[in-house]
């Protein structure tokens, strides 16, 4: 799994991190911190991941300090392995209104 950050302004530091769900194991440290980074200089976090399940959603995040000192974050989501199972369709019931109109009623 590779997470790439390319700053659009010069920043004093760049933090990269992967969050792995149950069933996914990082084979290296899933976070990295870089010092001052110039505009357009890519920073990479490369982490081999072992899956013990058919598929998993992995979350990545890049954090940089903003102009006022607060942290700015950009998240990313990637699916590893098999596609996520499709959601079951919601039950629908046709209802005939007194006006003769037919509408679909969807209940959770």
pLDDT in tens, 12-37: 999 999 999 999 999 999 999 999 99
pLDDT computed for residue 68 by the predictor: 85
pLDDT computed for residue 105 by the predictor: 86
Percent of the chain with pLDDT over 90: 80
* pLDDT over 90 at 7, yes or no: yes
| Dist. CA 86–CA 81, nearest whole Å | 15
The two structure tokens encoding residue 87: 């959601």
| Dist. CA 67–CA 57, nearest whole Å | 32
- Delimit the domains of the chain by residue range: 2-81
Q: What tens digit of pLDDT does each residue of 41-76 get?
A: 999 999 999 999 999 999 999 999 988 889 999 999
How far is residue 30 CA from its own chain's centroid?
14
The two structure tokens encoding residue 100: 């003769």
């Amino acid at each position: 799994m590779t997470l790439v950050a390319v700053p659009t302004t010069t920043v004093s530091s760049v933090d990269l991190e992967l969050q792995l769900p149950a069933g996914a194991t990082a084979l290296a440290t899933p976070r990295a911190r870089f010092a001052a980074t110039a505009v357009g200089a890519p920073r990479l976090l490369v982490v081999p991941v072992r899956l013990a399940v058919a598929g998993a959603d992995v979350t990545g995040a890049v954090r940089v300090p903003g102009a006022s000192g607060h942290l700015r974050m950009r998240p990313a989501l990637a699916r590893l392995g098999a596609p996520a199972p499709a959601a079951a369709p919601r039950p629908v019931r046709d209802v005939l209104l007194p006006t003769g109109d037919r509408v679909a009623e969807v209940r959770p």
